[in-house]
Amino acid sequence: MSIKDNLISIKNELPNGVTLVAVSKTKPNEDILEAYNTGHRIFGENKVQEMVAKWEELPKDIEWHMIGHVQRNKVKYMAEFVSLIHGVDSLKLLKEINKQAKKHDRVIPCLLQMHIAEEDTKFGLDDSELSALLQSEAFKAMDNVKIVGLMGMATFTQNENQVRKEFAHLKSIFDQLRQKLPEISILSMGMSGDYTIAIAEGSNMVRIGSSIFGARNYH
């Protein structure tokens, strides 16, 4: 199947209210344009430089989501245009995003990444780090970032029950947070291998790459 057919069939299958981020990392502009020409506008990248290069070359009505781990010294390159940063997992990073957003007179929407997987290689905050960040005076003083939701990645495993449990855990944190902060509305969880489980557990934003664009080659 073509990129176009994959994208259309996945979009038809998603319930109302679930936003698709088409993850185009490592893929060339022509592949992104094939998806764009179906009317799709939201694309996700995990490397700042690659996203900047694609933003420069591709149509300006694309909404670029940064889904990967962000190094603080790279924030300045994307502050002008990034629509949503998914992987915010420290106050230091948030401070830098705030500072760079201010230079462009923007408020950058961000998701806080929670650590829900068993593997310790996956980035993210735990419950107490999340509350500490949100309650800090430094965070309250930031005018150029807006926390609009949470993001998480489940353990890479064939054990569906475990994946389900991890997503359900993130959903429960999301629900609790939403009672205190009404601007929290996005729950970004689910990738090609696990998005149906994520949606069943309450995801409203899925990040899908290989099921749309095919397997990635890393050289």
Ligand X SMILES: *Cc1c(COP(=O)(O)O)cnc(C)c1O
DSSP per-residue codes, 6-70 = HHHHHHHHSPTTPEEEEE-TT--HHHHHHHHTTT--EEEES-HHHHHHHHHHS-TT-EEEE-S--
For 93, the enclosing helix (H) or strand (E) is helix 91-103
Per-position DSSP letters for 170-188, written without gaps between them: HHHHHHHHHHH-TT--EEE
Number of residues this chain uses to bind ligand X (CB under 6 A) = 13
Binding mask 33-72 for ligand X (x = CB under 6 A): -------------x--------------------xx----
Interface residue with ligand X among 23, 114, 154, 184 (CB under 6 A) is: 23
Q: Residues 178-217 vs ligand X: string with x where CB under 6 A? A: -------------xxx-------------xxxxx------
Q: Which is nearer to ligand X, 171 or 207 (CB)?
A: 207
Q: Which is nearer to ligand X, 23 or 101 (CB)?
A: 23
What is the closest distance, in whole angstroms, from the C-beta atom of residue 69 to ligand X in the complex?
8
d(C-alpha 164, C-alpha 15), whole Å: 18
Q: Which is nearer to ligand X, 68 or 109 (CB)?
A: 68
In whole angstroms, give the CA distance from residue 122 to residue 116: 9
The residue among 86 and 142 lying less far from ligand X, judged by its C-beta, is: 86
> For binding to ligand X (CB under 6 A), which residues are involved?
23, 25, 46, 67-68, 191-193, 207-211
